[in-house]
Each structure stands twice: as C-alpha cells, then as structure tokens.
Amino acid sequence: MANEKKQNGELSKREIRRKRRIRNQILSYAVLAILLGGLAFGGYKGVVFIYQKFVQANQPVVVSSNEVAVSDDAAGVIATPEETDEVSDNLAASENEVNTGVNPAVTAYVESMTLEQKVAAMFIVSPESITGVTTATRAGDGTRTALAAYEVGGIVYTGNNITGSDQFKEMVQTTKDMYMELYQVELWTVVQEEGATNVIAGSQAGVVAQSAAADLGTSGDTNNAYMAYSSIGSYLNEYGIDVNLGPVCDVATNADGYLQERSFNSDADIVTSMIRLAVDGQKEQGVITCLTAFPGQGESEVNPLNGTATTERTLEDMRACEFLPFMAGIEEGAQMIMVSHIVASNASGEAISSSLSSVMITDELRGELGFNGIVITDYMDKKAITDSYGAGEAAVLAIQAGADMILRPANFEEAYQAVLDAVNSGTISEERIDESLIRIYSLKMQ
C-alpha cells in the first residue's frame, strides 16, 4: 500500500511537471514566434527603406508612405512610428529574457504577483507561525486560511510536528495541495536531515538514521557519503519533503568546536570529497540540496542557537579551507546555500552576522564563489540574531545584504511587515525583491 501511494504521488508529481513543461514550451514557442516575426518585419522595413532611397536618387519624386504599395505576399501594412517603437520594445524585452536564460513563464508569474505576495514568498516559516497554534500536527481550515493570506515560499518542519508517519505524510501533502490550489505553484516543504541531526529519521518506524557526518568522514570512503544522502533523499521523497537543509559543509578546524559529529572532518580535502558525493546522492533523488552553513563555522565553540558565534579566520584562511567544500557543492549542482550567523570580522571587516553581511553574501558567496542559486539565512529565531535584532530589522538587513529567503523568523508577521514597509518606503526596491523571486520561481517551476 505504501509503495502504491508513493507511486501515485510520483505519478501526480510527474503529471504536474509534464503540464508545466507543456505550458513553458508553449510560452517559449510564443517568444520565438515574436522574435522571428520581429526579424521578418525588420527585413521588410529594410527593403522598403532601400527602395525609397533608390527612387529618391533617380527620380525627382518624393515617395510618401501612402504611395508605397504593399505586395500580396507582405505580412501586413507598414507600421506607423508608434507601432514600430512598440514592436521594438517588445522585441527587446523578449531578447532580454532569452539572453538571460530566464523562463518567460517565471517572469510572467512574478509580474502577476502583488507586492504582498512577493514579500511573503521570501519567507520559509514554521506552520505554527502562520496558523497561530502552539503545535501544528495537521493541516485544516486554519492552514488554508493562513496560506490564502500569505503566499510564503516554504514551510519548515521539526520533530514537534510529527506524531506518526501517516499523520506527517498527510499533513505535508494536504498543505502542499492547498497551496497548489491557491497559487498553481509548489510550496516547498523543508526539514533538516543530516544523520547526526534529524527530524524524521530515528523517530519514525522504518526510517533509520544515517551515520553522523564525522563517522562517514572517518571511514575514508567517500562513497559512504553518497549512499547516506541517497538514502536520506529517498525517504524524504516518501514523506513529500522538497528541501533538505544539509549536508553540512563546515570544516572542523577547532576540535572543541560546537559542530562536533556534524562535520565530515577537520581536513578540508576530505570534507570537499564527501560533499561532492553527498550532493550527488541527494540530487539524484530529486531533493533540493541546501548546503550549510556559509562561510563555515567549524572554528566556533558557541552554537548560534545560544548566542553570538565568532571566528578569527581571514578571507585568505577561508579561501584555502572553509570555502572549498562550498565550491565543490556548487560545482555539483547544489541549488541552495544557507548563510550562518557567525561573525567573521577578520574576513568581512564588519562586526555583524554573516547572514546580514553584504560582503559575505554578495561579494564572497555570489562574487568570489560564483553562486547563482538561492541564498537563505540560518534560522532567524536563534539567539545570535534575537539578542541583537528585532525580527523585522533582521529580515530587512538580510535582504539588503543579498539573501533571497528568510528562514523561520522569530516573529513572521513582524518580519513580513517590516520588509513590506521597507519596499513601500524605498529602503528596498521592488526590483531587488524580484531578483530573488526570479531565482526562487525558476527552481520551483522547473
């Protein structure tokens, strides 16, 4: 019966993707038709222009536009200057979409969204934060009402949301179905599953937790990382989970660091090799990989959950060590990267969390490492943030720094409203919001 449900679910996903591909192909053909039509129109205008010049040069007659005959083979009449400008503008817009590689369906979807929907889509929230319940274990009318009010980008679950395998699967699928009915696009469901830290494995019958990253690294066999994350991806698929906040890319440069068994090794080369295979294993199962947590927090002895975490590492240090696993993950096709709250003053020149730093996100992660995927913050309800910032201020700063999505703010409504107000006041431009949404929906609408 479980296999049958899984098969039905996979068929449903394939059918949705098939319809989406057909829709996208139709839009692509439409854009191509516009391009070809524009080129044909331009060629026709060129012929008319040459003919006019020839006549002017050989006859003392001024040929007006009304006297130029259109042949039976012509596609239409000569456009007025206003019509020509409009065609040129549309053609330029179409060429821009083709040149930048953005799916026209994605652009159209983002343009159709209200500002409120755009801002909400940048948040990954807990089910409790939008429904107002203490602990969410089912998706009912309250969930539907909340989703109708906020087109959030994703829902992140914890072990508190699970009372049993069937219960959790039903909760996740019902939530996704509601969202699809409302917006005709996928809602991302998110967990953190990495072997040492898990939401599902170890607590549900039949789901065995994979070995901790440190044990995999000590084994010396990189294929173990592949097998572990292939298994993780497989059962996350069964539960309807789209995004995994793992694997951990941090290099354990400090033996007393708080990560302990969550890091593959203290040797950057070993971690790099493990990350490559882990990303491959999970990607093959169709689960979105979110590498954690840039720029690397293996030196810190303080867990950001409990307070401010710091590192003395410089950019040169990080380029020779911490950045290597992230670069490998990017090369293997990781679609998301989480930025940690660690304060890396010697690297960024700023005494602020990396998740709020434009140097670390825009200059280093995007510029230096060339990452073009989705950047999300670490959990924003950790004390590393809440001890120094309000939920709204932190969300605004993260987006200004270059983050695409805000993960579990301490107060979602406060954070949402602060970002909305920032756009309305011009503190954050709507174009900046659209940049992130293009990345988000390009992945959602694949």
- pLDDT tens digits, 222-241: 999 999 999 999 999 999 99
Q: Among the three residues 68, 101, 134, which one is the final residue of a domain in this structure?
A: 101
Question: Do 422 and 307 share a domain, yes or no?
Answer: yes
pLDDT at 259: 86
Question: Do 288 and 425 share a domain, yes or no?
Answer: yes
Q: Per the domain annotation, does 399 fall within a domain?
A: yes
Using CA atoms, how far apart are residues 219 and 225, in angstroms rounded to an integer? 10
Question: Do 282 and 342 share a domain, yes or no?
Answer: yes
Using CA atoms, how far apart are residues 69 and 223, in angstroms rounded to an integer? 73
Tell me which residue range forms the domain holding 135.
112-444
Q: Among the three residues 80, 101, 122, which one is the final residue of a domain in this structure?
A: 101
Question: Do 92 and 160 share a domain, yes or no?
Answer: no
pLDDT at 260: 85
Q: Per the domain annotation, does 107 fall within a domain?
A: no
Question: Do 139 and 22 share a domain, yes or no?
Answer: no
Q: Per the domain annotation, does 260 fall within a domain?
A: yes
Tell whether pTM > 0.85.
Answer: no
pLDDT at 62: 36
Question: Do 39 and 76 share a domain, yes or no?
Answer: yes
Identify the helix (H) or strand (E) that includes residue 377: strand 374-377
Q: Across the chain, how many H-helices and E-strands are there?
A: 18, 8
Question: Do 32 and 119 share a domain, yes or no?
Answer: no
Question: Do 305 and 369 share a domain, yes or no?
Answer: yes
Q: Per the domain annotation, does 116 fall within a domain?
A: yes
Q: Tell me, what CATH number does 343's domain have?
A: 3.20.20.300
Using CA atoms, how far apart are residues 222 and 9, in angstroms rounded to an integer? 32
Q: Per the domain annotation, does 49 fall within a domain?
A: yes
Q: How many structural domains are present in the chain?
A: 2
Q: Per the domain annotation, does 247 fall within a domain?
A: yes
Nearest CA among 267, 375, 285, 370 for reference residue 322: 267
Nearest CA among 235, 350, 222, 240 for reference residue 295: 350
Q: Per the domain annotation, does 221 fall within a domain?
A: yes
Residue 407 contacts residue 156 (beta carbons within 8 Å): yes
Q: Per the domain annotation, does 106 fall within a domain?
A: no
Q: Which amino acid is at 49?
A: F
Question: Do 31 and 178 share a domain, yes or no?
Answer: no
Q: Which amino acid is at 71?
A: S
The residues, any chain, with a CB within 8 Å of residue 380's CB and separated by 6 or more, are 355, 386, 391, 394, 395, 398, 406, 407, 408, 409, 410, 415
Ranges of the chain with pLDDT below 50? 1-14, 16, 31, 35, 40-99
Q: Among the three residues 101, 129, 151, which one is the final residue of a domain in this structure?
A: 101
Question: Do 80 and 160 share a domain, yes or no?
Answer: no
The residues, any chain, with a CB within 8 Å of residue 264's CB and separated by 6 or more, are 213, 214, 216, 217, 225, 247, 248, 270, 271, 274, 275
Question: Do 56 and 157 share a domain, yes or no?
Answer: no
Question: Do 128 and 95 share a domain, yes or no?
Answer: no
